[in-house]
């Protein structure tokens, strides 16, 4: 889902095709008033967030599909989803009327964001490896200075190649489960557009959505700042020698 000063867009995707509903703010207000005639006043941004939250609750243990869904009609080029929920005891409803979008829009909304997510994870992995290697050097300093390390927290030097070889075949979740996980949604919200992709009227991400059957709503994301890597030499550890300890005891006497 994205909101600009002129337009509100709802997105649904199964990672193969993209469906969208694009409304002006006036069209959104008119449709909301028509769907909820007893609703006197509302904030557009908050109401969009509630729609996204309602979709995210579908088929969760707390809210089975029948608690939120009122209808789902799927045709070749259209998807219609009827939602119903409550806010402070007030019943609300909304119909998503989504049309098949272009391959270019699928790339802009989903594929490019997925690639940016991979890039972010690779950058974070490189940063973590750097931290681990520094920790290894720090531990080695302790050992060289005869500092005792408790057996149950003692570790071997980290070997990235061995680690990645062991975990290379550990991904067993379906792609849609990975895409819809809270961790993935949180990461997508951190991704930035590159300077040449950024527009003067940048969409603002609102709400979080999860799949309806095999369809998942996507967030358009904000730009992210590059990770700043701070490099510091390992701290020097000085362990008092036996001679210094003896001199200290003599001074006390």
pLDDT, one tens digit per residue, over 224-249 is 333 333 344 444 444 444 445 545 54
In a domain, 216, yes or no: no
Is residue 2 helix, strand or coil? Answer: strand
| 161 & 48 share domain | no
Separation CA 79–CA 77 (nearest Å)? 7
Is residue 48 helix, strand or coil? Answer: helix
- What is the enclosing helix (H) or strand (E) of 29? helix 25-35
Q: What is the pLDDT of residue 93?
A: 92
| 172 & 89 share domain | no
- pTM for this predicted structure: 0.62
| 124 & 185 share domain | yes
| 94 & 150 share domain | no
Q: What is the pLDDT of residue 165?
A: 79
| 245 & 143 share domain | yes
In a domain, 27, yes or no: yes
Of the three residues 55, 78, 100, the one that is the final residue of a domain is: 100
**In terms of Cα–Cα distance, which of 20, 24, 6 is closest to 209?**
20
> Cβ contacts of residue 29 below 8 Å, gap of 6+?
44
| 55 & 141 share domain | no
The neighbouring-strand residues paired with 90 are 87
In a domain, 213, yes or no: no
pLDDT digits (tens, 9 = 90+) for 161-217: 888 877 666 667 788 788 777 788 777 777 754 444 444 344 444 333 333 333 443
In a domain, 209, yes or no: no
Counting beta carbons within 10 angstroms of the beta carbon of residue 186, is it exposed (0 to 12), middle (13 to 18) or buried (19 or more)?
A: exposed
State which residues form the domain around 75. 2-100
């Amino acid at each position: 889902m994205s909101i600009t000063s002129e337009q509100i867009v709802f997105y649904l995707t199964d990672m193969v095709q993209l469906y969208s509903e694009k409304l002006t703010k006036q069209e959104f207000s008119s449709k909301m008033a028509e769907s909820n005639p007893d609703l006197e006043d509302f904030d557009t941004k908050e109401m969009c967030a509630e729609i996204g939250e309602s979709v995210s609750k579908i088929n969760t243990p707390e809210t089975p599909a029948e608690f939120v869904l009122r209808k789902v009609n799927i045709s070749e080029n259209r998807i219609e989803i009827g939602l119903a929920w409550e806010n402070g005891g007030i019943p609300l409803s909304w119909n998503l009327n989504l049309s098949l979008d272009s391959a270019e829009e699928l790339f802009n909304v989903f594929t490019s964001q997925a690639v940016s997510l991979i890039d972010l994870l690779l950058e974070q992995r490189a940063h973590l490896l750097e931290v681990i290697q520094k920790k290894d050097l720090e531990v080695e300093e302790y050992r060289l200075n005869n500092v005792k390390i408790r057996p149950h927290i003692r570790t071997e030097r980290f070997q990235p190649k061995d680690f990645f070889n062991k975990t290379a075949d550990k991904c067993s979740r379906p792609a849609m489960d990975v895409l819809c996980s809270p961790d993935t949604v949180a990461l997508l919200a951190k991704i930035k557009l590159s300077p040449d992709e950024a527009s003067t009227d940048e969409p603002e991400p609102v709400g979080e959505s999860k799949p309806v059957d095999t369809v998942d709503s996507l967030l358009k994301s904000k730009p992210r700042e590059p990770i700043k890597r701070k490099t510091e030499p390992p701290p020097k550890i000085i362990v008092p020698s036996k001679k210094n300890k003896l001199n200290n005891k003599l001074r006390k006497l």
